[in-house]
């Protein structure tokens, strides 16, 4: 974040007036929001907190917050307190010394806040209002009245501030609702964060509010996330937003992390097979996509995954199930998914345990994000290493979140931190002593972040050029070969011939059976079959289908054995044609064999 960014959090939960309910959330809200906004890896704001201040002090701090700013500054002001309405309908923010009958003198008017926002030279200003409106006061109190409703957004001008680039207001609820603390407003409940501020903190801290996965949490991202989160928790509370903003306002960096692989689309011939009206052809296409899904070339595998997901959503149940089964092979499968470090003496060198990532290359390619500060993750050849570096005694429980292209998984980590080891068990080492344990020191917070766990690259075989993936530059390409492509084309032609001759044989057999039925006892099925020429096409079907399968198998074997002699396009085309060949030839061969056996068994009796 290059611009200057400042935030002020006003949290009031204690009031001298007995008519105002004591709020449970503001103190916890302020601490959580301060942490996430100040984190340089998330909000990177300079944060100040005003807690249980008087109305006079609140006005002073608010005005000072907005003055002497520059156009490059971004300001964020957060209120967590009661919202009160005057007799004239104006909104006021309650201070610790607020007296509801004397709102103009003892509370902070929304008009005052609006005036400060309009007069600042800061480029962008954001206001969060986590306040209880109307019914958030103790019911039956004579000193606090909520006659009617107040539309919070109407309390702020809609026009753009003269000196800034824009402003936005996001409220926890509208004029008809409570702003809930947890699931209810209860006098005797313990401290807990409000739904609104909890959603703000969670969305920023986890990065889940980065809805478009661009690495940043914009104002629109955060509002959409908070709106859905609050509505899911309580359908009776509806966050609202009003904004006059030029361009996109980035509120925070996203720490969510997602694997993004630029997919290589499947060949046109394979896509045509996926859209074929023939079920067997589409089934063959799914089988070919599954093979591409397991390939070590990640862009090719990702392209196949995207096509399989489309098939699983849109095709008939039979084909969709095949696609879903193929996709299940790339789910994240860490082994083990639970690590127990046992007793770890505090101050000892960091302990580490290994986790192996199972499955094909696309399933092993993921992001690993430790959720606790005492956890660190390092990628290895086969998976990752989890390190534990405790700083306080007691039981520890944490998680390492794995995020792949298709799903997420969690590795749960446990440890019990005990007292430091006694000196007699760890004699002082000389200055020249070094081992693996002492070298494994915890990284600072700036280096402890999401890491990429990637499958190892395939080493070149002796005597063969290295295999080159689609995202690498080919410097000396081998001489391309077309043998397998020609063989695959021939196999496909033979398969089509087998299907055509099978259709001809079935038509002739149907005519022979009809003729035999008309002849009664004097007829012979053998004569009818011979007259209509049903046996020659059936024989041709058997031969061409078998030859098609053999030629197709040889073409696939040649591309696998001499991979370096084929371009990716040639290999992909070969696999596609042989898959279609198999989808045509196998059913034709089976039907031809069944018809032949039926003829041999039934001819003697009919």
Question: What is the number of domains present in the chain?
Answer: 4
Q: Clarify whether residues 494 and 559 are in a common domain.
A: yes
What is the rounded average pLDDT of the residues 346-374? Answer: 85
Q: Clarify whether residues 230 and 294 are in a common domain.
A: no
Rounded distance between C-alpha atoms, residue 406 and residue 410, angstroms: 14
Both structure tokens of 531: 């007259």
What is the rounded average pLDDT of the residues 303-311? Answer: 90
Both structure tokens of 214: 């661009």
- Going by pLDDT thresholds of 50, 70 and 90, the confidence category of residue 154 is low
Rounded distance between C-alpha atoms, residue 152 and residue 297, angstroms: 55
Nearest to 329 by CA among 290, 365, 366, 367: 290
Residue ending a domain, among 280, 313, 330, is 330
In sequence order, the β-bridge partners of residue 125 are 75, 167
pLDDT digits (tens, 9 = 90+) for 547-569: 999 998 888 888 777 766 777 67
Q: Clarify whether residues 203 and 57 are in a common domain.
A: yes
Q: What pLDDT, on the 0 to 100 scale, is given for residue 96?
A: 93
What is the rounded average pLDDT of the residues 278-290? Answer: 92
pLDDT digits (tens, 9 = 90+) for 13-49: 888 988 787 776 678 778 889 999 998 878 999 999 9
464 belongs to a structural domain: no
Rounded distance between C-alpha atoms, residue 330 and residue 8, angstroms: 46
Both structure tokens of 107: 């509370």
CA distance between the termini of the chain = 89
Q: What pLDDT, on the 0 to 100 scale, is given for residue 457?
A: 57
Dihedral angle over CA of 385, 389, 394, 400, nearest 10: -40
473 has a pLDDT exceeding 50: no
Residue ending a domain, among 453, 473, 506, is 453
Q: What pLDDT, on the 0 to 100 scale, is given for residue 561?
A: 73
- Going by pLDDT thresholds of 50, 70 and 90, the confidence category of residue 480 is low
Q: What pLDDT, on the 0 to 100 scale, is given for residue 156?
A: 58
> Bigger pLDDT: 78 or 470?
78
175, 131 Cβ separation under 8 angstroms: no
Q: Widest CA span of the chain, in angstroms?
A: 118
∠ CA 225-400-455 to the nearest 5 degrees?
Answer: 105
Rounded distance between C-alpha atoms, residue 93 and residue 98, angstroms: 9
436 has a pLDDT exceeding 60: no
Q: What pLDDT, on the 0 to 100 scale, is given for residue 177?
A: 55
Which has the minimum average pLDDT: 11-15, 45-49, 318-322, 598-602? 598-602
Q: Helix 279-293 to helix 317-327 angle, to the nearest 10 degrees? A: 10
Rounded distance between C-alpha atoms, residue 558 and residue 483, angstroms: 8
Q: Clarify whether residues 170 and 50 are in a common domain.
A: yes
429 belongs to a structural domain: no
305 belongs to a structural domain: yes
CA distances from 198 to 253, 354, 476, 520 (A): 18, 34, 56, 87
363, 298 Cβ separation under 8 angstroms: no
94 belongs to a structural domain: yes
Q: Clarify whether residues 275 and 165 are in a common domain.
A: no
∠ CA 198-204-210 to the nearest 5 degrees?
Answer: 125
Q: What pLDDT, on the 0 to 100 scale, is given for residue 259?
A: 67
Please, what is the average pLDDT of the chain?
79
What is the rounded average pLDDT of the residues 511-516? Answer: 78
Sign of CA dihedral 85, 89, 91, 94: negative
Residue 172, SS3 per DSSP: coil
112 has a pLDDT exceeding 60: yes
What is the rounded average pLDDT of the residues 361-384? Answer: 86
In sequence order, the β-bridge partners of residue 166 are 124, 245
Give the range of the structural domain holding residue 577, as residue numbers without chain letter. 483-603
Q: What pLDDT, on the 0 to 100 scale, is given for residue 159?
A: 46
Rounded distance between C-alpha atoms, residue 399 and residue 379, angstroms: 16
What is the rounded average pLDDT of the residues 393-403? Answer: 88
Q: Clarify whether residues 222 and 324 are in a common domain.
A: no
What count of Cα atoms within 13 Å lies in the side-chain half-sphere of residue 271? 9
What is the rounded average pLDDT of the residues 174-182? Answer: 55
Q: Clarify whether residues 348 and 307 are in a common domain.
A: no
Q: Is the peptide bond before 410 cis (omega within 30 degrees of 0)?
A: no
DSSP string for residues in 222-255: HHHHHHHHHHHH-TT---EEEEEESSPPEEEE--
Q: What pLDDT, on the 0 to 100 scale, is given for residue 390?
A: 77
Rounded distance between C-alpha atoms, residue 224 and residue 297, angstroms: 36
Q: What pLDDT, on the 0 to 100 scale, is given for residue 73?
A: 92
Write the CATH number for 248: 3.40.50.1460
Nearest to 541 by CA among 578, 570, 574, 501: 501
Q: Clarify whether residues 242 and 277 are in a common domain.
A: no
460 belongs to a structural domain: no
Residue ending a domain, among 330, 362, 380, is 330
Q: Clarify whether residues 241 and 274 are in a common domain.
A: no
pTM score, whole prediction: 0.46
**Percent above pLDDT 70 for the chain:** 77
Which has the minimum average pLDDT: 209-223, 232-246, 428-442? 428-442
What is the rounded average pLDDT of the residues 68-75? Answer: 91
Q: What pLDDT, on the 0 to 100 scale, is given for residue 450?
A: 63
Sign of CA dihedral 136, 138, 142, 143: negative
493 belongs to a structural domain: yes
Rounded distance between C-alpha atoms, residue 586 and residue 576, angstroms: 16
What is the rounded average pLDDT of the residues 514-518? Answer: 75
Q: Clarify whether residues 16 and 101 are in a common domain.
A: yes
Sign of CA dihedral 304, 306, 309, 315: negative
274 belongs to a structural domain: yes
Rounded distance between C-alpha atoms, residue 141 and residue 135, angstroms: 11
Q: What pLDDT, on the 0 to 100 scale, is given for residue 1?
A: 44
What is the rounded average pLDDT of the residues 173-193? Answer: 51
469 belongs to a structural domain: no
Write the CATH number for 402: 2.60.40.10
Q: Clarify whether residues 134 and 272 are in a common domain.
A: no
**Percent above pLDDT 90 for the chain:** 24
- Going by pLDDT thresholds of 50, 70 and 90, the confidence category of residue 145 is very low
Q: Clarify whether residues 238 and 282 are in a common domain.
A: no
What count of Cα atoms within 13 Å lies in the side-chain half-sphere of residue 344? 28
What is the rounded average pLDDT of the residues 281-308? Answer: 91
Q: What pLDDT, on the 0 to 100 scale, is given for residue 370?
A: 85
Rounded distance between C-alpha atoms, residue 181 and residue 130, angstroms: 10
Nearest to 344 by CA among 428, 453, 442, 448: 442
């Amino acid at each position: 974040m290059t611009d200057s960014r400042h935030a002020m959090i006003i949290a009031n939960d204690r009031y001298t007036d007995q008519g105002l309910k004591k709020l449970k959330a503001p103190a916890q809200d302020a601490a959580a929001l301060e942490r996430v906004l100040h984190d340089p890896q998330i909000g990177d704001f300079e944060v100040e907190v005003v807690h249980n201040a008087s109305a006079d002090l609140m006005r002073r701090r608010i005005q000072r917050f907005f003055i002497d700013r520059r156009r490059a500054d971004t300001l964020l002001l957060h209120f967590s307190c009661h919202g009160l309405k005057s007799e004239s309908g104006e909104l006021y923010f309650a201070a610790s010394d607020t007296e509801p009958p004397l709102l103009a003198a003892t509370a902070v008017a929304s008009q005052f806040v609006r005036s400060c926002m309009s007069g600042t030279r800061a480029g962008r200003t954001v206001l969060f209002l986590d306040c209880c409106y109307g019914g958030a006061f103790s019911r039956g109190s004579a000193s606090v009245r909520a006659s009617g409703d107040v539309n919070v957004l109407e309390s702020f001008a809609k026009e753009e501030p003269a000196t800034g680039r824009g402003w936005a207001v996001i409220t926890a609820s509208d004029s008809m609702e409570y702003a809930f603390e947890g699931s209810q407003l209860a006098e005797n409940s313990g401290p807990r964060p409000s739904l609104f501020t909890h959603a703000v903190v969670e969305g920023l801290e986890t990065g889940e509010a980065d809805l478009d996965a661009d690495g940043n949490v914009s104002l629109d991202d955060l509002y959409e996330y908070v709106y859905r989160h609050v509505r899911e928790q309580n359908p009776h509370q509806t966050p609202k937003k009003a904004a006059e903003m030029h361009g996109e306002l980035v509120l925070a960096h996203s720490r969510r992390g997602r694997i993004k692989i630029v997919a290589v689309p499947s060949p046109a011939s394979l896509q045509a097979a996926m859209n074929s009206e023939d079920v067997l052809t589409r089934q063959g296409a799914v089988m070919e996509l599954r093979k591409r899904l397991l390939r070590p070339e990640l862009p090719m595998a990702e392209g196949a995954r995207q096509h399989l997901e489309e098939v699983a959503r849109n095709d008939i149940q039979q084909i969709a199930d095949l696609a879903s089964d193929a996709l299940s092979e790339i789910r994240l499968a860490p082994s083990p998914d639970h690590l127990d470090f046992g007793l770890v003496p505090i101050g000892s060198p960091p302990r580490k345990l290994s986790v192996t990532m199972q499955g094909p290359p696309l399933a092993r390619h993921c992001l690993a994000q430790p959720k606790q500060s005492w956890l660190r993750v390092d990628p290895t050849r086969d998976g990752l290493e989890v390190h534990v570096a405790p700083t306080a005694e007691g039981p520890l429980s944490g998680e390492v979140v794995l995020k792949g292209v298709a799903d997420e998984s969690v590795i749960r980590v446990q440890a019990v931190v005990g007292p430091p080891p006694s000196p007699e068990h760890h004699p002082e080492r000389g200055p020249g002593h070094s081992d693996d344990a002492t070298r494994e020191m915890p990284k600072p917070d700036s280096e402890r972040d999401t890491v990429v766990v990637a499958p190892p690259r395939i080493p070149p075989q002796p005597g063969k050029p290295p295999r080159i993936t689609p995202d690498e530059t080919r410097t000396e390409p081998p001489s391309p070969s077309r043998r397998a492509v020609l063989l695959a084309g021939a196999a496909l032609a033979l398969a089509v011939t087998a299907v055509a001759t099978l259709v001809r044989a079935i038509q002739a057999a149907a005519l022979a059976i009809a003729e035999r039925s008309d002849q009664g006892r004097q007829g012979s099925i053998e004569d009818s079959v011979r007259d209509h020429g049903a046996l020659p096409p059936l024989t041709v079907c058997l031969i061409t289908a078998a030859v098609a399968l053999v030629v197709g198998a040889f073409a696939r074997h040649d591309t696998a054995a001499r991979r370096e002699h084929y371009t990716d396009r040639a290999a992909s085309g070969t696999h596609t044609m042989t898959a279609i060949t198999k989808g045509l030839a196998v059913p034709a061969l089976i039907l031809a064999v069944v018809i032949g056996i039926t003829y041999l068994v039934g001819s003697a009796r009919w």
